[in-house]
């Protein structure tokens, strides 16, 4: 596996949307820091993450985390946890699971023929 020249990080790719201010951005980036390892396999310029919250600190608040990575389907995770901290962790963990699922689907783990290309050898005919 080759290393990405400019790997994506939460700090570099995170945007805060509706319900959050730019002042919340660093705190949110700290909560999402564990995603850096998963995002490192993608280029920073082709990766975007946006978090938003509807009805912040109200009984029916809803946190949404969207992730766009070039060449992949958009991933949207949501949480209705009443505690904002718990909701952020919920969407973060769901995004990590979905990124892992996408990676697993794209890797030819269960197909040896796709993992490695072995040149066929010519066997001498048996006498």
Q: Distance (Å, rounded) from C-alpha 59 to C-alpha 42?
A: 36
pLDDT per residue over 37-68, tens digit each? 999 989 999 999 999 999 887 888 999 999 99
- Full-model pTM: 0.77
Q: Which two tokens stand for residue 101?
A: 């699922």
Domains (ranges, CATH) in the chain?
A: 10-106 (3.30.160.100)
User: Rounded to an integer, what is the distance from CA 124 to the centroid of its chain?
Assistant: 51
């Amino acid at each position: 596996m080759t290393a990405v020249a400019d790997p994506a990080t939460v700090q570099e790719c995170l945007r805060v949307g509706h319900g959050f201010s730019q002042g919340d951005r660093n705190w949110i980036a700290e909560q999402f820091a564990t995603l850096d390892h998963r995002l490192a396999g993608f280029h920073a310029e082709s990766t975007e993450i946006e978090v938003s919250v509807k009805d912040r600190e109200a009984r029916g608040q809803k946190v949404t985390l969207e992730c766009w990575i070039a060449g992949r389907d958009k991933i949207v995770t949501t949480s209705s946890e009443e505690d904002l901290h718990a909701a952020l962790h919920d969407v973060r963990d769901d995004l990590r699971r979905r990124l892992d699922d996408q990676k697993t689907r794209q890797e030819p783990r269960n197909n040896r023929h796709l993992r490695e290309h072995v040149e066929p050898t010519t066997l001498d005919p048996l006498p």
